[in-house]
Amino acid sequence: MVFVEEAGLGGSLEKTQSRCPDGTLGTSDDLHRAGMRLKPHPLKELRPETDRQRMGISTRLCVEATIRCLVPNRPLSRIVDCSADRPPFMSPAASPAPAASAASPTGAGLKVSTQPRPNSRLAVEVAVPGGRCRSSYDQALEQLSRSVKLPGFRKGKVPRAVLLQQIGPLRVRATALEELVDSVLREALEQEKIAALSRPVLEGGFEAVLERFEPDSDLSITLELDVEPTPTLKATKGLKVEAEAVTYDPARVDELLEQSRRQLATLVPVEGRPAASGDVARIAFSGSFTDTGAAIEGGSSDGMEVELEEGRMIPGFVEGILGLAAGETRTVSCTFPESYPQEDAAGRAASFDITLLDLKSRELPALDDAFAQQASDQPTLAELRADLEARLKEDAERRHRGNRHEALLEALVEQLEVELPETLVQEEVRALIEQTAGQIAQQGMDVKKLFTPDLVRSLVDTSRPEAEQRLRRNLALRALATAEKIELAEKDLEAKLREVSRGLSDGNRIDPARLRAAVADDLLREALLEWLEANSTVTEKAPAAPEDADAEASGDSPAKAAKGDQAGKEMATKKEAGAKPAKADKKGAD
């Protein structure tokens, strides 16, 4: 059983590798929450937006190669039969597919007609004349005669009659049809300007078409494939939405300073008094369920540090430690919250035999210039406060703008009319997994070891709803850009590229074309959202009441906390060595 929410490396790995109640290995959100638990020093968690954008682009591009081997893109099939593994046969065209077309001659007597299918798929019917079939058959026979080795004949000198007798006419027809379908489909897709997104599927399957294939007879084949969707919007202007307001809170400066003081505090032994709130207790405990008496899986420890603060553990556990003296034992009754993620424990009563081994209290550093230098890059406390205030204001403004944009995007998607092709959904799933991998990699974890094939398969399934949502948003913005003719100025793109490139230490390892595309996407998205905000009505509403009570009710249980010991030890080691925690991002709503 997994317990700790605020764990370090050990707790994060346990969380990401644990199974959900339905037996799956957790979603991309689970991994994101696990990776982000390795939090930096609170005074260093805010960074300018440009740095965050550089970090995001760099990570997204550099981690892609790692994920590609786990979630590979499926290339278009050379034989267009998805039931068999075939080599790739072409690249998609550059222009969108037509909704439908009348039959039109192409190539050597070919006739091509198209018909739209649901989910942004297109059926392409090709009529192949008998002469083309005969030519393909003769070429296949010639090719096989040059490659097949038969006793008594030199390579390439096998008579056709002997060849047909030895390998059979079916193999010759299959080889001929393979090459015929390849060449015919190339011509058809080029003629009709079809942007193929997926591996084409041969209607009826390759074997069924092979049964109908005769060298001197006309042949009709139908191909079905995903094509670029054509998103449209019922309305682009006059949207009315509500967005939660975000304002700067001056009290956050003091909160961050206090958090930093606690992280830099020295733990000193406590003697002559019992455990009190705010102490750090080292305990031994064992737990069992009250109804069955069965031991709680993972619910015991011979020595675990617990911060005696409300909401850190499941209700009743910390309270049961308060008042204990070193060496004393107490039986504590607790009840797991109904919302507890482990189904076998949710809502059940439990008892824990807890022994207080030793007790420590925090000795906080003085709030002075020396503290500012230890906790940050600022030389004085006054400058540290000013820096925190500026960054918190910037962060509040960013989240405020992000809430408005989020509400507008939701409203825009409601106006969207589009069918999602499966190929684009799968590409978005892969992008989500790459994003999760980037977040985990930023925490210093080995993505290749963590992202096992089982975990990746689970993420492919559980990430689909989010992938479809993101795809609809992107298509809605694309439709907005088309409808309102909103384009990105080249000078703005070049300026942003120079800014981003200066901040990339590994810029020489990033494909310039991909970097340019990523920056262009970000800039165009921002321009579209600003246009949308200027042409819509956004009403601000008060922030929703925090759900602190619910969060505390679903707090950690003892074995979860046991997983966090290693993080605390690592933090203490860094502090004693005088090491400063590295800076990291604090993402806004954007």
Is residue 187 domain-shared with residue 277, that is, in the same domain?
A: no
Residue 52 maps to a domain: no
Query: Is it the case that residue 238 has pLDDT exceeding 90?
Result: yes
Is residue 111 domain-shared with residue 220, that is, in the same domain?
A: yes
Predicted confidence band of residue 452 (pLDDT cuts 50, 70, 90): confident
CA 268 from centroid of its chain's CA atoms = 42
Residue 331 maps to a domain: yes
**Segments forming the whole domain that contains residue 15:** 9-46+266-363+550-576
- What token pair was written down for 509? 């390892």
- For 383-412, the three-class secondary structure string (H helix, E strand, C coil) is HHHHHHHHHHHHHHHHHHHHHHHHHHHHHH
Pairing of strands 537-541, 240-244: parallel
Distant-in-sequence, close-in-space partners of 207: CB < 8 Å, separation ≥ 6: none
Q: What is the pLDDT of residues 370-387, one digit of tens each?
A: 999 999 999 999 999 999
Is residue 445 domain-shared with residue 464, that is, in the same domain?
A: yes
Query: Is it the case that residue 100 has pLDDT exceeding 50?
Result: no
The CA-CA-CA angle for residues 412, 417, 418, to 5°, reads 115
Residue 563 sits in a domain whose CATH number is 3.10.50.40
For the segment 352-363, the average pLDDT, to the nearest whole number, is: 94
Is residue 309 domain-shared with residue 429, that is, in the same domain?
A: no
Domain total in the chain: 3
For the segment 411-428, the average pLDDT, to the nearest whole number, is: 93
User: Please, are residues 240 and 536 in contact by the beta-carbon 8 Å criterion?
Assistant: yes
Is residue 541 domain-shared with residue 570, that is, in the same domain?
A: no
- DSSP string spanning 212-226? H--TTS-EEEEEEEE
User: Please, are residues 120 and 221 in contact by the beta-carbon 8 Å criterion?
Assistant: no
Environment class of 317 (CB within 10 Å of its CB; exposed 0-12, middle 13-18, buried 19+): buried
Q: Where do we find the tokens 């990105």?
A: 488
Cα-Cα end-to-end distance for the chain: 35
Is residue 308 domain-shared with residue 221, that is, in the same domain?
A: no
Global confidence as pTM:
0.62
Q: Could you give the residue ranges of the DSSP H alpha helices within 463-535?
A: 464-484, 490-502, 512-534
- What token pair was written down for 274? 């019992």
- How many residues are recorded in the chain? 590
Look up residue 109 and give its amino acid.
G
Query: Is it the case that residue 471 has pLDDT exceeding 60?
Result: yes
- For 132-182, the three-class secondary structure string (H helix, E strand, C coil) is HHHHHHHHHHHHHHHHCCCCCCCCCCCCHHHHHHHHCHHHHHHHHHHHHHH
Residue 193 maps to a domain: yes
Q: Where do we find the tokens 């092709």?
A: 421
Is residue 216 domain-shared with residue 315, that is, in the same domain?
A: no
Residue 242 sits in a domain whose CATH number is 1.10.3120.10
The CA-CA-CA angle for residues 185, 186, 187, to 5°, reads 90
Is residue 173 domain-shared with residue 313, that is, in the same domain?
A: no
Phi and psi of 203, rounded to 5°? -60, 130
Look up residue 143 and give its amino acid.
Q
Predicted confidence band of residue 45 (pLDDT cuts 50, 70, 90): very low
Look up residue 533 and give its amino acid.
E
DSSP symbol at 20: P
Query: Is it the case that residue 412 has pLDDT exceeding 80?
Result: yes
Is residue 572 domain-shared with residue 469, that is, in the same domain?
A: no
Determine if residue 311 is left, alpha or beta; phi over 0 gives left, psi from -120 to 50 gives alpha, anything else beta.
left
Q: What is the mean pLDDT of the chain?
A: 76
Q: Which residues of 162-183 are buried (b: 16+ CB within 10 A; e: fewer)?
A: ebbeebeeeebbbbbbbbbbbb
Query: Is it the case that residue 354 has pLDDT exceeding 90?
Result: yes
Q: Where do we find the tokens 């600022």?
A: 378
Rounded-to-integer distance, Cα 325 and Cα 124, Å: 80
Residue 1 maps to a domain: no
Residue 560 maps to a domain: yes
Rounded-to-integer distance, Cα 571 and Cα 377, Å: 19
- Between 129-143, 257-271, 277-291, 322-336, the lowest mean confidence (pLDDT) is in 129-143
